[in-house]
Amino acid sequence: MSLTTFIKVSVVKTVIALFVLLTAVAYSVWLERKVVGHIQNRWGPTRVGPFGLLQPLADGAKFLFKEDLIPPHVYKPLYIAAPMLAVIFALTSISVIPIGNSVTIGNIQTPLQISDVNIGLLIVLGITSLGVYGVALAGWSSNSKYSLLGGLRASAQMVSYEISLGLSLVGVLILTGSFSLRAIVDAQAGTFLGFIPRWNIFQGQLVAFFIYLTAAYAETNRVPFDLPEAETELVAGYHTEYSAMKFAMFFMAEYANMITVACLASLLFLGGWHGPVFGPAWLQALLPVFWFGLRVLVFLFIYIWVRGTLPRFRYDQLMAFGWKFLLPLAIANLVVTALIVAMRS
């Protein structure tokens, strides 16, 4: 592939991926409001469009037309940069995530991901580890006590749970022997005994999956670990002083991070895009993407379900749980997996 074709293909893929991701972000907000509404015996959004489906558009328009307040007491450069950083890191991490096999259009064959790199998982982890700057700097630069407490909580929490999150993934890496997300998915093809799929959670990584699930909730600042924006204590935490589109950017970053986490869970533990494939050629090409999307949707649904049912942790409980329970469990899982793999070979 020549350089110009490469650039053209990459630009097209980036535009499509961004469009899909931002639409998914908008509609996961809708899904959340709808599902939490039904959990709490209300209807959720119903007025704008059928089933409230146009609500995200209405919200977006509202955010755009609101007055963009900059309080006089903030440290301006970082106050403005913080939401941008949050959104940039949240959107960048999608760039190495594959959503299906490769496709051939005309004479160009290209994988269904923006860039197929052999250390894909490390890149996602690296970019998400930078995401904490957006939240921390927003809290600090707002120059208000609630924001600062929210920012401090967020950075302590995200650094703590990142370790458990990383360690829970190492088991999968040992089983596969590669950092490439595509190779990890390929290793999960096929079935045991003809009907149990060879997903990593059925290959002894069930504990790791639950560690990942828990740590991921803490990483994305979601209930029951949403201490950085605990509204009963901190007004709105790190984004107390933000309004209009800047506030919306934090919102977008949070939901984009949720989607990235859901994608990683599907790729690493739930078999990626593997599933029954049948029918004519065009259906065979689309079904893997559909199966992948279904897994992501289920993962997002569990996220919302948890939000609708669990109360918030206290801060000391959060830290004790992360360091005294989750981390030892992740290390134990790693040691057991390593022993089993070593004995097998």
Binding site for other proteins (CB under 8 A): 78, 117-119, 122-123, 125-127, 129-130, 132-133, 136-137, 139-140, 148, 151-152, 155-156, 158-159, 162, 179
Smallest distance from other proteins to CB 47, Å: 42
For 102-111, the CB contacts below 8 A with 24+ separation are: 103/285, 108/1, 108/5, 108/9, 110/9, 110/13, 111/182
Smallest distance from other proteins to CB 102, Å: 22
**Cβ distance to other proteins smaller for residue 137 or 175:** 137
Residues paired with residue 192 on neighbouring β-strands, in sequence order:
196
Smallest distance from other proteins to CB 79, Å: 12
Q: Which of 302, 299, 290 is nearest to 270 (CA)?
A: 299
Can you tell me the distance from the alpha carbon of 260 to that of 265, in angstroms, rounded to the nearest whole number? 9
Smallest distance from other proteins to CB 96, Å: 11
Question: What single letter denotes the amino acid at residue 94?
Answer: I
Residues 6+ apart with CB under 8 A from 9: 1, 108, 110
Can you tell me the distance from the alpha carbon of 111 to that of 185, in angstroms, rounded to the nearest whole number? 13
Smallest distance from other proteins to CB 162, Å: 7
Can you tell me the distance from the alpha carbon of 105 to that of 16, in angstroms, rounded to the nearest whole number? 15
Can you tell me the distance from the alpha carbon of 292 to that of 274, in angstroms, rounded to the nearest whole number? 8
Cβ pair 144, 73 in contact under 8 A: yes
**Cβ distance to other proteins smaller for residue 126 or 279:** 126
**Cβ distance to other proteins smaller for residue 44 or 83:** 83
Smallest distance from other proteins to CB 89, Å: 10
Can you tell me the distance from the alpha carbon of 119 to that of 298, in angstroms, rounded to the nearest whole number? 27
What is the pairing mode between strands 196-197 and 102-105? unpaired
- State the DSSP H helix or E strand holding residue 111, giving kind and residue range, or none if neither: strand 108-111
In the numeric block, which tokens belong to residue 296? 């992501």
Smallest distance from other proteins to CB 112, Å: 22
- Percent helix, strand, coil in the chain, to 5, is 70, 5, 25
Smallest distance from other proteins to CB 37, Å: 36
Cβ pair 256, 21 in contact under 8 A: yes
DSSP state, residue 193: T
Q: How many helices (H) and strands (E) does the chain have?
A: 13, 4
Smallest distance from other proteins to CB 61, Å: 34
